[in-house]
């Protein structure tokens, strides 16, 4: 069954001196401020499209990796994933680095790396970002 998630942005003003809010409508967990300076320079307590992509990618990847490991009979005890999304003004998103550390009894570091690569390739967010270079660092704890 397909699901649809919704977020809404309200923006006022021009790009450089304007600002807005992003609300996560489906979950209702919050409304977050956005602006060009918080995107292209320092966050200063505001979010950005890139941070929201990072959140989506790290959570999707973790779920895909957990599913793959469990399907292979080695469910993880824990996974910690960060996604670093690089934004270059004038160019756009120039790369994403996924870093995962996992505690998975019963597998080797090579098996963990292979499972992580499979999750990276098959995670729906990775597929949606297929035009972007996505790197992976996987460490079995």
> Does residue 37 sit in helix, strand or coil?
helix
Class of domain 49-140: alpha beta
Q: How far apart are CA 18 and CA 35, in angstroms?
A: 7
At 20 the pLDDT is 98
pLDDT, one tens digit per residue, over 112-141 is 999 999 999 999 999 999 989 999 999 999
What is the sign, positive or negative, of the torsion defined by CA atoms of 66, 81, 88, 32? positive
Token code pair at residue 106: 């019963």
39 close to 72: Cβ distance less than 8 angstroms: no
Percent of the chain residues past pLDDT 70, beyond the cut: 100
Q: Name the residue ranges covered by the structural domains of the chain.
A: 7-40, 49-140
Token code pair at residue 123: 């995670």
């Amino acid at each position: 069954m397909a699901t649809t998630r919704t977020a809404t942005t309200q923006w006022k003003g021009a790009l450089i001196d304007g600002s807005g809010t992003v609300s996560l409508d489906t979950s209702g967990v919050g409304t977050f401020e956005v602006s060009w300076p918080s995107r292209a320079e320092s966050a200063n307590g505001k979010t950005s499209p890139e941070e929201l992509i990072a959140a989506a990618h790290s959570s999707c990847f973790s779920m895909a990796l957990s599913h793959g490991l469990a399907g292979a009979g080695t469910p993880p005890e824990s996974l910690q994933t960060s996604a670093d999304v690089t934004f270059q003004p004038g160019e756009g998103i120039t790369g994403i680095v996924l870093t995962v550390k996992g505690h998975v009894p019963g597998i080797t570091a090579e098996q963990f790396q292979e499972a992580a690569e499979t999750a990276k390739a098959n995670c729906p967010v990775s597929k949606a970002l297929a035009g972007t270079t996505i790197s992976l660092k996987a460490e079995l704890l």
